[in-house]
Amino acid sequence: MDVVEQLKAMNARRILLQIPDGLKPSAFRLFNMFSKDFNVIISSQGFYGACDIGNKEIYDNVDCIVQFGHSEIPNIKYPKPVIFVEYRNDVIDLDEKIFHELKRYKSIGLLSSIQYYDEMLYVAEILKGLGIKVVIGKTDKRMKYPGQVLGCNFSAVHSASLNVDAFLVVSTGMFHAIGAQLASDKDVYLLDLNEKRIKNIKSDVDAFLRKRYARISRALDAKKFCVLMDTKIGQYRRKLAEHIYNEIIDLGMQAILVTADNVNPYDIENLRCDAVVFTGCPRVSIDDEEKFNVPVLTPQEFKSLFIKRSNRYIMDEIVSVD
Ligand code: SF4
Per residue in 22-43, pLDDT tens? 889 999 999 999 999 999 999 9
Q: What is the pLDDT of residues 218-237, one digit of tens each?
A: 999 999 999 999 999 999 99
pLDDT at 267: 87
Higher-confidence position of 261 and 75: 75
Check pocket membership of 235 for ligand 1, CB cut-off 6 A.
yes
pLDDT at 46: 86
Nearest atom within ligand 1 for CA of residue 280 = 1
User: Looking at the predicted structure, is the pLDDT value of residue 112 above 90?
Assistant: yes
* Residues forming beta bridges with residue 225, ordered by sequence position: 255, 275
How far is it, in rounded angstroms, from Cα 174 to Cα 204? 8
How far is it, in rounded angstroms, from Cα 287 to Cα 48? 13
Average pLDDT (288-313) is: 93
Share of the chain above pLDDT 90, in %: 89
Check pocket membership of 234 for ligand 1, CB cut-off 6 A.
yes
Check pocket membership of 69 for ligand 1, CB cut-off 6 A.
no
Please give the biggest Cα pair distance in the chain: 61
Q: Mutation test of ligand 1: which of 45, 48, 278 has the most ligand atoms closer than 8 Å to its C-beta?
A: 48
Which residue's CA lies nearest to atom 6 of ligand 1? 51
Which residue's CA lies nearest to atom 7 of ligand 1? 48
Question: Are the beta carbons of 178 and 186 closer than 8 angstroms?
Answer: no
Question: Are the beta carbons of 179 and 154 closer than 8 angstroms?
Answer: yes
Average pLDDT (260-270) is: 88
Q: Mutation test of ligand 1: which of 283, 315, 321, 322 has the most ligand atoms closer than 8 Å to its C-beta?
A: 283
Check pocket membership of 80 for ligand 1, CB cut-off 6 A.
no
pLDDT band at 58 (very low <50, low <70, confident <90, very high): confident
Question: Are the beta carbons of 244 and 277 closer than 8 angstroms?
Answer: yes
Average pLDDT, the chain: 95
How far is it, in rounded angstroms, from Cα 248 to Cα 27? 46
Which residue's CA lies nearest to atom 2 of ligand 1? 281
Q: For residue 229, which phi and psi values (nearest 5 degrees)? A: -110, 145
Torsion of CA 23, 29, 35, 40, to 10 degrees: 30
Share of the chain above pLDDT 70, in %: 100
Check pocket membership of 169 for ligand 1, CB cut-off 6 A.
no
Distance 115 CA to ligand 1 centre (A): 14
pLDDT at 90: 95
Q: What is the DSSP string of 271-299?
A: TT-SEEEE-S-HHHHHHTGGG-SS-EE-H
Average pLDDT (68-96) is: 95
Nearest atom within ligand 1 for CA of residue 70 = 5
User: Looking at the predicted structure, is the pLDDT value of residue 262 above 90?
Assistant: no
Distance of alpha carbon 300 from the chain centroid: 16
Nearest atom within ligand 1 for CA of residue 284 = 2
Check pocket membership of 47 for ligand 1, CB cut-off 6 A.
no
Which residue's CA lies nearest to atom 3 of ligand 1? 151
133-135 and 39-43 strand pairing? unpaired
How far is it, in rounded angstroms, from Cα 240 to Cα 244? 6
Question: Are the beta carbons of 156 and 112 closer than 8 angstroms?
Answer: no
Distance of alpha carbon 103 from the chain centroid: 30
Average pLDDT (194-208) is: 95
User: Looking at the predicted structure, is the pLDDT value of residue 1 above 80?
Assistant: no
Instruction: Report which DSSP code applies to 72.
Output: -
* Residues forming beta bridges with residue 153, ordered by sequence position: 150
pLDDT at 116: 97
Nearest atom within ligand 1 for CA of residue 48 = 7
pLDDT at 264: 85
User: Looking at the predicted structure, is the pLDDT value of residue 208 above 70?
Assistant: yes
Residue 175 host element (H or E) = helix 175-182
How far is it, in rounded angstroms, from Cα 272 to Cα 249? 17
Question: Are the beta carbons of 6 and 37 closer than 8 angstroms?
Answer: no
Q: Which domains does the chain have, with CATH numbers?
A: 3-86 (3.40.50.11840), 96-200 (3.40.50.11850), 210-307 (3.40.50.11860)
Q: For residue 10, which phi and psi values (nearest 5 degrees)? A: -95, 10
User: Looking at the predicted structure, is the pLDDT value of residue 76 above 70?
Assistant: yes
Average pLDDT (163-169) is: 98
Check pocket membership of 283 for ligand 1, CB cut-off 6 A.
yes
